[in-house]
Chains A and B, each alone.
Chain A
Amino acid sequence: MLPTPSTSHVPYSRVYEPAEDSFLLLDTFSQDSETSFLSDRFPTSSPTPLLLEVGPGSGVVLAFLTAHAATLFGRSDVLTLGVDVNWFACEAAKETVRRAVKEAEEEEEAAAEGEVGKRDGENNGEAEGEGRTQNTRNRKSGRLLATAQGDLASPLRPGAVDVLVFNPPYVPTDELPTLPKELADPAAATPAVATTNDDSGKRKPVPKTTYAQDSTLLALAYAGGRDGMEVTDRLLAAVPDILSQRGVAYVLLCAQNRPEEVKARVRAWESDGGRWMAETVGSSGNKAGWERLQIVRIWRAVA
């Protein structure tokens, strides 16, 4: 079991708290079937994969995928990126990834030291032990490039993304919330109060939001409009453009999103390479064959 990243620093009053959907993504990526699919898809001899999570929120999934890249993808040279409409989520997710990578690296160093100690005991050779630390150091973690504020994948270059992860606002709602103008740039528009939300201990100005603004930020994380699919449909429409030929997308759907219909639509997409595939690769809340949540993997079959 890989450790779940700590999100204790995340302000849950305005950033979606990790829940069943987030944990389903962690479980799905941890399955043997998924790690072997991904290491086959991105063999270590192939170029460095770029992973984008759209709407990382607290950053728990992004941090998990970044910190445990070697285990999950079979390689540690994975670059990751998060784009969220919520500025506070961008900030929180960046910190979540930083903590998770640091923790993974400390664990790795402790393991390497243990290894050296053991060998020293056997050989009484300190110099050899030090050499080993350098050579057998297996990096576990990928690297976060950035988190950025944006609408879905709109700032990404066409064909740039190899792994796309999306835990959308999937709850059916009468209306789709819109981001208030002042929250598009909260640092410029709202008064700042000195507070601290990282473990550096230094106080820094953080924009102050109202209760109503916070509610809107949370609503943006769950409210999906008609069938809970309005935001997901926009993202799906962009997938063929932003995904590389070898690219794979993971999209979470709930039962009300009509996942079988969504998969059928994806399979009917036009393709200039291999045909489009869509399969359910993880599910939870299984009650009498009725899966409440599922993860759909979308990719082009090798032509």
Chain B
Amino acid sequence: MKVLTLNFLTCAVKSCRTSADSFPLHPKDAELVSDDVELNPQLLVNLLPRIDWNALRTTATELGFPTLPEQPPTPEELQADEKMLQDLHKLLMETQISEGKLVCGACGHEYAVREGIANFLLPSHLV
């Protein structure tokens, strides 16, 4: 699963949906692999407005990537900043979590990731 996926996912436990702590899920013992994907600047520019930047900063730091700036770049800044384009492309489009866990900050439930597939099925006592 691409790292970007974490920006769109939350804990599957119903009572966590309204809790701010359930997003983003926190990777734990994550093994990362990198795919070679062609850079598409337009995709990154169009993606910016729908990224939760604070959550992405958290994810990047937790995965050991360089700290992202506090504020997201504007589309113009991003288009003109080759390094920022490359960095975001690497983090969002190329990096995949292949093994590990995703932990909810609200309820503490751990979702396993195996062969790049996260398992969000809940044990019966959490449904």
Contact = CB atoms under 8 A, between A and B. Distances in A.
A81 B11 CA distance: 16
A179 interface: yes
Interface of B: 1-2, 4-5, 8-12, 14, 17, 23, 37, 40, 42-43, 46-50, 93, 112, 114-122, 127
A147 B12 contact: no
A48 B5 contact: no
Interface string A263-299: 0000000000000000000000000000000000000
A79 interface: yes
Nearest to A154: B12
Given A47-B49, A91-B115, A156-B9, A151 B43 contact: no
B117 A148 contact: yes
Given A81-B8, A155-B120, A158-B17, 7 more contacts: A76-B43, A83-B120, A143-B2, A147-B1, A150-B121, A184-B121, A188-B114
Contact of B5 (A46, A85, A87, A145): A145
B47 A145 contact: no
A146 interface: yes
B1 A145 contact: yes
A154 B43 contact: no
A187 B114 contact: yes
B42 A148 contact: no
B8 A145 contact: yes
A150 B112 CA distance: 12
A94 B43 CA distance: 21
A157 B127 CA distance: 17
Contacts of B119: 87, 148-150, 184-185
B1 A160 contact: no
A155 B50 contact: no
Contacts of A76: 40, 43
Q: Which of A44, A77, A147, A157 has the most CB of B within 10 A?
A: A157
